[in-house]
Chains A and B, each alone.
Chain A
Amino acid sequence: MRSKNPIIEHRDDLVRSLRQKKASQPRTPIPKRLQAITAELEKRLKLTESSDFRRRALTYGRRPAAVFYFHGIADEELVEHGVIEPLSRPTSGRKLDPLSDRRLHALTVEALTALEDVENALVDGQPVLAIDGFRRVYAFHLDQFPVRPIDRVSNESVLKGPQEGFTEQLETNMALLRRYLRSPDLVIRRRQLGRLKRTGVAVAYLKSVANPNLVADIEKRLDAVEALEYDAVASVEQFLEERPYSLLPSMLTTERPDRAAAHLLEGHVVIIQDNMPYAYIAPATYWNLFHSSEDHYQRLPYSWFMRFIRTVAFFLTLLTPGVYIAATNYHVEMIPIDLLMAISGSRETVPFPAVLEVFLMEFSFELIREASVRIPSQIGPTIGIVGALILGQAAVQANIISPIMVIVVAITGLASFTQPDLSFNLALRISRFFFLFAGATLGFLGIALLLAAALAYLVSFKSFGVGFFTPWAPYVPSSHDVFLRRPLPAETTMPKTALPQAETKVDKSRYFALFPRLGARRAAKGRRP
């Protein structure tokens, strides 16, 4: 029998200790008198200091009562018309209880028995009703945090395909997933992480498709994060990934609900988090990072073309500066003589060695890129002018760099923008400096050795137990949606990348109906004796 991983055992211990702690933690019962409840809440939530706190006094039957809520995060109109107004109307019943009160039937009411729960309900935007003489407080699900509406995606835009992206609100994102995947199989499990911040995190998966071990693995990691009781979990991605120092991301980050839904269908697990307009998809392989959602919305030949361009761009980003330095410093003989003369002619007046030149230019390019992200949008075009004019033309005229270097850096920079995933794009941009160093130190030998080491690292890298180059290395059955892809109706095999439970997507024997020529050939074959 295989021994259990010590880290998994450690995680289990953490979860066990959290459960014990929760079970043994004393919970403050709600006082019977309204005055005591108010005093206790004021003490705990420092309500006298918070100017956005609201308290509305009313009577419930014959008992004095009060509704508490925070201004701005509760739907005040509904509080007014759905809670206070109906409760102010006289009722005939003698024994009243908000859970069975007909005046409140239109609302979702929850009875709370501990002051800790009341605190949480209030900061979650839920108005609470406290009644004198009741040992329970009633919370109404009328929270309404201010949020951005569903907007166009900004980082993963496509020419053809859905344009909407996730928002910062977890519930909206969950609803978006449900809209794209209207299946009763879709399970979305919500929890809160972070002792102070209480960030909402939801794990979504298709029950009949996703590997239960993968789901359990992710849930256990989240349990461990919860058990460690961090004050804030700003980005759940960084708490879940296996190799925090690695350049490679363990999860695919997307702001597109259609992309998240497509991965759910193939057995991946989607993790969404409050205050983050992204979904994290686990496991993520190279191909997930390489593909763009547009690849499937565009027709097959266009998609092939786009992927081919992206592949070339991948190598251009990674290798262009290194190869240029290696060729000009170590392997001059391989450069055609006319080109060599042109390069040396353009470098004649440049006082720096080529490697320093490349490094300066690449560094400047990164400066421009970083500045363009941080700069206020009103003065954004300035960056373009500074970049193109000063760093390009002026630096060449001042003989600080050669014109050919501008071309090398421009090609590298342009190529790097083609990578659809932001994390992978950054990984590539950083890696190219290593290749630049390798090329400058040992020419093509250095590049080849680094390439071998990098390739070994890539194939040994695992995201949630799945090899980064799956389904190529290791080879596992897939829908052949890797470098190229098949026509959509012919993608009949369920990819084994995320180790799904389900076997195939469609019945292979029937999909020929969609291809008249293939179908006729198959029918003819079937008629043969």
Chain B
Amino acid sequence: MRFGLSREQPSERGTNPSTDDLIGQRELMAVAFFLLVVKGADSTTTFLLSFGGNAGWLSVFVYFAYMLPFLWLVTRTLAAREGLNLIALSEETFGVPATKAMMSILLVLGFAATILNMRPYAFLLEVMFYAKTPATVIYVLLIATSGYLAYLGLETIGRVASLLLPYALLSFGLLFLGVYDILDYDEIFPFFGRGWPLLTGPLAHLGIVVDMLYLAVFLDRVKGGTRTYWNGMLSGSGIAAVSAAVLLWMYVTAFGYPAASGTLYPFQQLTRLAHFGWYINHVEAAFLGIWVLASVVHFAVYIYTIVYLFQYVVGAGDFFRLIVPTLGILFVAGFYPYRSFILQYTYRAWVVYALTATVFPFVIALAVAVRYRFRRSRGHRRAD
């Protein structure tokens, strides 16, 4: 006999902030932060540095500047029909079949992006820290832990993220303190690196940060609606952009430009250099801890999004029953064949192009359609 309230079912208490399964601005900000900041500490740095050369750290701000209008567009579009999420709004505007088709594409690309992101993490851990442990074991553990967070829901992911955010920022601060004496500040010049590619590169690879728009799918789970979404995303991605830029700046100033670009795992390499006095050094394992925590939150959001889209596309009733099949697919698909690390980057580049080519036009089309519809209905009212 159980007396407790089951998690899936609402309790009788209506106004309880703990049971309504919504996230607030803090949680959304933290989720956005972990979604984006990890990109400054994984293999994505190779992409970022390739656009701007030694000014790669500036490319983060360029990304941020490019994404802001889209973020604003999504917010404004969703604000036209407050209370609806991206899927519901799309259904209302384009109809169910078109929305399902679009979400299927987003689901496939989301799956591909998750797999292509997750497997390198397992390799990173194997190469840098656990040479004797099979990457498969690490991969399974990473999937299982992130999957567990996703299983507990968006509320839990948001809360974990909000609790970890100060520690993540503190660890960045500590990392800077640990390496500040070995940084060569002259390395950041020429300030704009390669010049134009700094602006054009991110434009073609906007898909790297498309996660920000993916979060609009859960807008109905955000307390305060579009206003909270805008504030949370803006602050979260803003802090993430500054943090990622500082990290990239540290890679360039610590290793020098060509070396930073060619370094496979610059964050881990940088943590190896960190030292506090001459006695406390080689503290990369301590930074590994917070990096793993951040990665788990990062992938938990990915998995939650995939399951959410999966549920919508297949029309499944129970969200949580799809978790295990999704994790199974992620595990099996993680063994995709590859011949070299370079090919992994090629696959990732394809997914990024595909995301750029689908998500942004979809957002623009949705914004135009909603605007047109909204204006027309307003016009009709006026005519009446």
Give the interface of A toward B (CB within 8 A): 2-8, 11, 211, 213-214, 216-217, 221, 224-225, 228, 239-243, 326-327, 330-331, 333-334, 336, 442-449, 451-453, 455-457, 459-460, 462, 465-467, 469-470, 472-476, 496, 499
Contacts and interface: CB of A to CB of B under 8 A. Distances in A.
B3 A242 contact: yes
Interface stretch (B190-198, B281-289, B359-367): B281-289
B299 to A, nearest CB: 10
Given A336-B279, A445-B138, A452 B3 contact: no
A445 B3 contact: no
B146 to A, nearest CB: 8
Interface string B150-165: 0011011111101110
B2 interface: yes
A336 B280 CA distance: 6
25 contacts: A3-B9, A6-B9, A213-B13, A214-B13, A225-B3, A240-B3, A242-B3, A330-B285, A334-B282, A334-B283, A334-B284, A443-B129, A444-B288, A444-B292, A445-B141, A445-B288, A446-B141, A448-B290, A449-B292, A467-B18, A467-B159, A473-B158, A473-B159, A473-B163, A499-B17
A330 B129 contact: yes
Contacts, number: 170
B145 A452 contact: yes
B19 A465 contact: yes
A214 B281 CA distance: 52
B15 A460 contact: no
A7 B156 contact: no
Contacts of B125: 445
Contact of B11 (A239, A465, A473): A465
B296 interface: yes
B314 interface: no
Contacts of B67: none
A463 B138 CA distance: 34
Given A466-B16, A473-B159, A447 B148 contact: no
A2 B129 CA distance: 50
Nearest to B13: A213
A217 B3 contact: no
Given A465-B11, A469-B159, A7 B5 contact: yes
Contacts of B158: 473
Nearest to B3: A221
B289 A474 contact: no
A11 B281 CA distance: 59
B15 A499 contact: yes
Given A327-B285, A456-B149, A467-B159, A445 B129 contact: yes
B315 interface: no
Given A240-B3, A465-B18, A460 B24 contact: no
Given A448-B288, A449-B292, A474 B18 contact: yes
B268 to A, nearest CB: 12
Contact of B13 (A217, A442, A447): A217
Interface in B151-200: 152-153, 155-160, 162-164
A326 B279 CA distance: 20
B297 interface: yes
Given A5-B9, A7-B6, A449-B141, A476 B160 contact: no
B145 A334 contact: no
A445 B292 contact: yes
